[in-house]
Structure 1
């Protein structure tokens, strides 16, 4: 994000040899010309040599060079503008002088500009926390274009759902012989979709906040998280299935199936946005329907395959 900030040159400046009284008289004469008068900046041939506050000038009678502060907190145009408020707050100063690479004075960032930069930084952080980033926000898209971009993916979801239903029909004999299996299909699908949706939201936000992220490192981390979530969730679900139906074998089927289904759903929901982004599609639009139907199909296939093997 490029941050534009205002630098004002309309500030009191003086030479090291000017006396306190002369500096005060100069400020009185030119009061209307300054944007800020919190400090007087001491220049030596256009080079910033020191700074004194108005309170210090009122408290001293000697020349400015005798009591000016030589250890100056400065900012250069090449630095990150978002560091300006933190420099001001951490050092308790109301304005930040700006110098070039040679130390020549270029002006100051006044207090009102510091407050504005701080607000912009706070707003940016809040948006990033919610996964909103300027590179992925498109405010000019009309409702018609949004419908056009979203409907094809939803149609793919309908086709995928039909394929899943056809696949379930191939296990009709298994389900009719062990009807309890059918009652746990919604549980299996829900858990996979729920965990997958979480992973999908997190990866899309990560892409928005950090487009140059390390994809392989992120996928490895999500795999470990999926394994941990899968182990805990499937153990609890398997226990509940075995206890409520008084069938330990059913509990084992649910445990094994849910563990692998959750891992598969997380990987699908994590990898899909990365692939869509690489292909030039909007991950936020394309991932949801396709990842959901792939996750549902995979979960159902794993569940019924495991049940068929164990039974």
Structure 2
């Protein structure tokens, strides 16, 4: 099933794998933003998760521990952001940008001496005869456990936000933190929990890049994936199912440009390479213009909560 020298089955299977880091980070950031907090430090959390997960996996020989280490590193970075924005009441945009710069620098320092090393293999989930089904088998049933975990998380987060009391409280805090505070809810505690969850998700997404997607450690390995995740949240109108579609779209673009290059396409590969970042810039401009609310953004997104008000 080839078109223009590109095998569609391989393309779709690779697309699903390529979308996992962005999907994990975007789902986490969506929960954070649903609580009314804007964390622009996703890139910094992802790359810290990438280097920490890589080091832990290589040291222990266990990729599962590597993913847990990546999640812990992302959560630790998020904890720093929570300290700045929820305790010290610092500006969220400035704190998020500082977090990204800090993560990029610290990961470069931590990663020295780990270049050129191969991490332990994260094997595919054995699904038996399902993997042998023509077309559908390679596309849907021949992936590692992180691919399926990311899809399960889409459903779980959708259910949490839509059908649970905790999810309703989280959304209420994002829509009006003053009203939530008046009802007795601990706004800062709720937002801190959401921030830590978002950091853990971004860290796992970063670990997936260095343990599965590449797999190796190099400086700047996330290559702007955190910024794309931020754009996807807005692109998806803060809805989990649309986040999945957005991650597949952006993942598909990145895979397609590699396949076109391999197939000898005459289309300059630079156009496809830069297209996700052009869309990201446009989305971030849209947020800063104040039009995000019309797209379904939480009413108090990015606003600092003062308990004395």
- TM category, shorter: under 0.3
Q: Name the structure where strand makes up a greater proportion of residues.
A: 1
Larger radius of gyration: 1
By percentage of residues, which structure has more helix?
2
- When the two structures are superposed, what TM-score results if normalisation uses the length of structure 1? 0.22
